[in-house]
Amino acid sequence: MFNRSRRNLARWFTLSMGSILVLFASMIYYQRAIDRLEESDRLLYKKAHVMAANINYKWRQGQEQLDLSKVPILGDYSPPPDSDIAYVRWYSKTGRLQQFYGLQPADQIQAIAAFETIQTHPEWLRQLTLPVDYNGRTIGYLQIAIPITDAQDTLRKMLTVLVIAVPLTLGMISLVGWFLGGLAMQPIQIAYRQLQRFTSDASHELRAPLAAILSNAQVGLLSPVEDGKPKHTRLEKIAEIAKSMNQIITDLLFLARQAGRLDPNSIQLINLNDLLKDTLASLPLQCSTEHLRVNLHLPEEAVITQGNPDLLKQAITNLLLNACKYTLADGVVWARLVSQYHRILIQVEDNGIGIPEQDLPHIFDRFYRVDEERTREKGGTGLGLAIVQQIIAAHGGRITVSSQVGQGSLFQIELPLL
């Protein structure tokens, strides 16, 4: 139980810190990408602005005169050797291509977007389309593009570092979470052990006086009834209540002593086929007196597991007695053993009165009774199913239940296969 709680604490700590780490790394990567893109845009805008400043435009005698000869790269000047410009294009104010350098473009401008990322092979380009104005009116569009290979390489290297660093950091976070979970569980574990020790001691100490009360009541019952019938009736009630209290204390003592892991010395290989046969053979007479039929279905091959045979027998007995208690006369109870490739299933099914749906989530709680009056009449303490769950959990398994009112119930024990 404590190891499971510690694992849960470590898991949730890793998930929460890991989510924060991944979010933080994503934000850093995103911000770095934005910064590099802004650097490219500033460089691109600076180049475009220098080119636009060298455009010679005049309006003479009702006609416009445009001279691009002095525009760097686009005009008569050849591009410098270290120029990283992919292409330069000049479009008229109507969007028609008039002059270009670099890749052959379309005759008509495709889009008038300020900055745009163009995906080409093998490198991506950052493109700027700059409207050029003269005296408040647009005389054309200058389009320029540069590769963003350096930015891509920088981001790729950063992503590689993050892909390696984030899982390593997550591993360290999980180890820290496991360590902190152990520290957090220590006070709870100490308090639980003290409570467990108190329950065990109190149950043990209460058994002796209860046994004395029960024996005295039984001795009193041996006296002739004629000596006083009211007195004899009271002694019967005392004896009945003492038996009930003794059963509750026995169950509590069992729960206190068997909490947590199994004693390694008590674990042994168990043939579940033989265990179920012995359990049914030693079942109390209650099932037979209620005229119930108990059917046993076992596989042909032996199903072997390891654990404490006495505890497993106690768990199966509790389920069978529970099924017998709440199955009407002439009903049927089935006990099945199923071996699957990775697990073992022990099923106890009946066609009894069933369990209401709202009670199913609480059916394994201590002292929980579906119908308190009816349960008391049947002699139940409300601890039988809690004992079963504790035994199965100690064996690394789990127990589930499905039921319908008036149709019956199916309890299923799942154990790991060897």
Backbone φ and ψ of 383, nearest 5° = -120, -10
Q: Which two tokens stand for residue 36?
A: 């590099």
Mean pLDDT of all residues belonging to the chain? 81
Backbone φ and ψ of 78, nearest 5° = -75, 145
Place of tokens 């308090």: 191
Number of Cβ atoms within 10 Å of the Cβ of 95:
13
- Which of 130, 51, 125 lies closest to 86 in space, CA to CA? 125
- Give CA separation, 203 vs 68, 209, 337, in Å: 103, 11, 35
How far is Cα 14 from Cα 118, in angstroms, rounded to an integer? 40
Mark 212-227 as b/e (b = at least 16 C-beta within 10 Å).
ebbeebeebeeeeeee
Specify the pLDDT at position 290: 65
Give, as one character, the DSSP assignment of residue 370: S
The most distant pair of C-alpha atoms in the chain lies apart, rounded to whole Å, by: 144
Give, as one character, the DSSP assignment of residue 109: -
- Which of 380, 333, 368, 377 lies closest to 353 in space, CA to CA? 333
Q: Which two tokens stand for residue 115?
A: 């900055």
Specify the pLDDT at position 260: 62
Q: Do 67 and 54 meet the contact criterion of CB atoms below 8 Å apart?
A: no
Please compute the mean of the pLDDT values over residues 229-249 and round it to a whole number: 72
Give, as one character, the DSSP assignment of residue 240: H
Specify the pLDDT at position 31: 92
Q: Place 347 in a pLDDT band, splitting at 50, 70 and 90.
A: very high
Please compute the mean of the pLDDT values over residues 107-115 and round it to a whole number: 77
Residue 376 has pLDDT above 60, yes or no: no
Please compute the mean of the pLDDT values over residues 235-259 and round it to a whole number: 72
Residue 318 has pLDDT above 80, yes or no: yes
Is the pTM here over 0.75, yes or no? Answer: no
Q: Do 82 and 72 meet the contact criterion of CB atoms below 8 Å apart?
A: no
Residue 285 has pLDDT above 60, yes or no: no
Please compute the mean of the pLDDT values over residues 182-199 and round it to a whole number: 77
